[in-house]
Every structure is written in structure tokens, then in C-alpha cells.
Amino acid sequence: MTEVCIIGIGLHPFGRTDGVSGRQQGAYAVRQALKDCGLEWTDMQFAFGGSAAAGSADSLVNELGLTGIQFVNVSNGCATGGSALLSAYAAIKAGQYDLGLAVGFDKHPRGAFNSDPRNSGLETWYGETGLMLTTQFFGMKINRYLSEHGISRDALGMVANKAFRNGARNPNAWRREPVTMDTIMNSDMLSYPLTKYMFCSPAEGGAALILASEKVARRFTNRPVFLRAAALRTRHYGSFEVFSPYLGLERAASPSTIASRATFEMAGLGPEDVDIVQVQDTEAGAEIMYLAECGFCADGEQEKLLRDGDTEIGGRMPVNTDGGCIANGEPIGASGLRQVCEVIAQLRGDAGDRQVPGTPKTAFTHVHGAPGLSACTVLQV
């Protein structure tokens, strides 16, 4: 089967853009991605896209042109963007198409996500008792994790502090001002041990990728990035997941663990081969846990990595170099594709003030969505 390349990337800045719809932000990202590789909308053979709060993704054809394109809507929680990319990857890998699009966008209202438990197979009591409020779950899960593995609350602050510093270097980020450790640690406590500056916020934005088979990629770019592997996995019984009304007596590996293992196996690589890492950081605790779940460290090693500067842009394992969800916010449809846009910019050497030193060759991305699924990729130049 053919190798799959990403030849074009496009972003609409994340944050709040008054007067611009989510669909318009998605269309902007698509146009930027097409411009990046010198293609036109009429060249696209297929598209996969997702949006949680800004309408059906296939409505982008109203903005981009009515060409009769096969356009499939994708919805998979916070892993929507990763799922759209996986679908596009599979279509080209199988030899069905040579050129196509993965796109995501969103425009969430201000305030917390307002999820309906019935959409996740739960009764209404689950929401009526407050359990549907994800901040509470995140707080409970990371509090248990810190206790089990001897990690201090300072590690949460260090993750958020790094995110805001990296976001300050990113012209497409929402939060572009550094925030001190003291401010982060002493801000309002939302769900112990997580303060308000340790959480991301629902946001707006768009992200798009143009994918091509290897046989046609070099017609349009002299620097393709190879999508070596992409995998998505859902939860097993006993995995500690959001929107679960119980926890099994015996713990199972998380979907992030099994998805990352599948991705590395598919790529013929391991975590030790990765130069740049993007993991879901809905809140600071997520980055800590997912680094271990995806194989980049052992449980309990994260605080030392942070204190030693290993996860900084100039460290041995840069993590969330664009500020992650904490600095960018989370427009659900776009978030996973933002990660891929970032690592491609890094692999090309186009990341500007936040460029990882040297010549990074291999990158890894990870997203996790409710009620318990994860999508991962490995990319190389």
C-alpha cells in the first residue's frame, strides 16, 4: 500500500473571533492549507471533517464550492480531529484516493461544555448529580494519580506555566501572555488539585490538512511529511474514563496506552525515537498522565522531567510546543488537527520563535475524547 503524506497545513487562529462563524473559520483553514501546497478546492477528491458546536462539517462546501466532493462528517468527542485524520489516512492508504482533506472547526459558547449524559449511554441522574461536569472527573483522577505516584502539585503548575510560555511564542494561540507559577498555583481552586489556570477553555478555531499519496505528493511539495502511522482505540472494562458511572475492581490499560502502542507498532518505532510530542492537555494533569500512558516515561517520573527541563522547547523531549490546549483553548473539532499542524511546522523548520533546536525528524500526536477513546499518529520527514 502507498505511503501517506501531508503536503498542506492551515489554521485559523484559536480563541474568540467575534463576528466570524465556526464554519467560516474552518473554511479559512482549508484555504490556507490549499495555498500551502498550491492546490485548489476542485483538486480535492474527498474530505473528512468534524465540528461539535458549529454545525455539520460538510456544510463547508457552501463556503468552498459545490463540487460534488465526497464529504463525511466525523464526531468523536475531543478526538474528532484525530478521527477525521485517521479516516483520511485510511482512504489514501487503501489506494482509493490520491488527494484529500481532513478538517475540523468549532465555535463553542462561553462557559463549560454542556454535555447530555444520554448521548453517552447514561441516565439523566448522572448529570443531575453533577458527575457530567468534567472538571470534577479531571480533579478526582489526577488527585488519585499524584497520590499513587508521589508527584507534587507543583508539577501541575509547571505544566501550565510551560504551556503559557509556549503559547506566548505562538501567533495562532489564544493565551499569549506568560503566567507565573505563583499566579497559577494561587488562582481560584476549581476542582482540587486543579486551579483555573491549569484548565483549558472551550474555544474557537479551525485546522485543516491536505493529504496525498506518495506517488503524487512530490508534484506539489518538495518537503512532504510522511504520516507513518495512525490508530484509534476505545476503552476496555476497568479503564478509568470520563463519563463512566463505575470503576472496575481490576484496572485495565487506558485507550491512550493501547492506541499509542498500536501506532508505534505500525510505524516500526518506539517512544525513544520521537523528537517532538503532542499530548492532550485538557488540564495540566492530563499531560502528566498521558506522557506515561503513551510510553514516554514511567509513572512518577514526570515531575523530574519537568524540573530538569526535558519537556521544554529546548529539552530532550519537547512537549506541546505550541502551548497545547491550555494556551490555545479547545475547539473540539479542530484541536487534534492543530497538534498535527504544529508538529509539521516543527518538522519543516517553520515554527519560528518556538522552533525545536536541531533537525527534528519524528513527531507523535495524541488526543483523548469522551467517553474513552484515543487517536495517535507518528509523523516523519
Q: Say if residue 26's pLDDT is above 80.
A: yes
Half-sphere CA count of 34, side-chain side, radius 13 A: 17
Q: Find the helix or strand (DSSP H, E) in which 365 lies.
A: strand 362-369
According to DSSP, residue 120 is labeled G
Convert the pLDDT of each residue in 106-147 to its tens digit: 999 887 777 788 888 888 888 888 778 888 889 999 999 999
279 residue type, one letter: V
How far apart CA 357 and CA 69 sit, in angstroms, is 40
| pTM assigned to the model | 0.95
How far apart CA 332 and CA 57 sit, in angstroms, is 12
How far apart CA 344 and CA 337 sit, in angstroms, is 11
pLDDT at 127: 84
pLDDT at 224: 92
Report residue 42 as a C-alpha cell. 476542485
pLDDT at 52: 92
Burial state string for 120-143 with b = 16 or more CB within 10 A and e = fewer than 16: bebeeebbeeebbbbbbbbbebbb
pLDDT at 131: 78
Convert the pLDDT of each residue in 290-327 to its tens digit: 999 999 999 999 999 999 999 999 999 999 999 999 99
Residue tagged 516515561 (cell numbers): 297
Convert the pLDDT of each residue in 65-86 to its tens digit: 999 999 999 999 889 999 999 9
Q: List, in sequence order, every residue forming a beta bridge with 375; answer none if it has no partner.
A: 232, 367
Instruction: Judge contact between 136 and 76, C-beta under 8 A.
Output: no
Q: List, in sequence order, every residue forming a beta bridge with 6; answer none if it has no partner.
A: 211, 225
Beta strands 189-191 and 225-234, pairing class: unpaired
Q: How many residues in the chain?
A: 381
Report residue 175 as a C-alpha cell. 493565551
pLDDT at 328: 98
How far apart CA 220 and CA 247 sit, in angstroms, is 50
